[in-house]
Amino acid sequence: MGKPRVLVLRAPGTNCDLETAYAFELAGAESSLVHITRMISHEVTLAECSIFVIPGGFSYGDDLGAGKVMANELDQRLHDQVAEFVARGGLVLGICNGFQVLVRAGLLPVPFGGQRSSLLVNRSGRFECRWIHLRIAPGNPCVFTPGVVALDLAVAHGEGRLYVPESSESDLTPVLYYARPDGREPEYPADPNGSFKHIAGLCDESGRIFGLMPHPERFVRLSQHPRWSTRAERDGPGDGLAFFVNAVNYARSL
C-alpha distances in Å from residue 219, one per residue of 22, 215, 225, 233: 11, 8, 7, 15
Q: What is the pLDDT of residues 45-97, one digit of tens each?
A: 999 999 999 999 999 998 888 999 999 999 999 999 999 999 999 999 999 99
Q: Which pLDDT value is given to residue 1? A: 60
**pTM higher than 0.75:** yes
Which of these is catalytic: 19, 73, 128, 215? 215
pLDDT for residue 231 is more than 80: no
Active site residue 142: no
Q: Which pLDDT value is given to residue 218? A: 97
pLDDT for residue 234 is more than 70: no
d(CA 18, CA 23): 9
Specify the DSSP element, H or E, that contains 37.
helix 36-40
The answer as to CATH 3.40.50.300 being correct for domain 5-252 is: no
Residue 167: other Cβ atoms inside 10 A = 8
Residue 75: other Cβ atoms inside 10 A = 18
Check: CB of residue 222 under 8 Å from CB of residue 231: yes
Which of these is catalytic: 73, 128, 217, 225? 217
Which of these is catalytic: 96, 128, 142, 198? 96
Check: CB of residue 136 under 8 Å from CB of residue 150: yes
Q: What is the pLDDT of residues 129-150, one digit of tens each?
A: 999 999 999 999 999 999 999 9
d(CA 47, CA 65): 30
Active site residue 215: yes
* Average confidence score pLDDT of the chain: 95
Check: CB of residue 137 under 8 Å from CB of residue 210: no
d(CA 227, CA 224): 9
Partners of 51 in the β-ladder: 6, 91
- Cα 138–chain centre separation: 18
Q: Which pLDDT value is given to residue 232? A: 58
145-166 mean pLDDT:
97
Active site residue 205: no
Domain ranges of the chain: 5-252
Q: Which pLDDT value is given to residue 104? A: 96
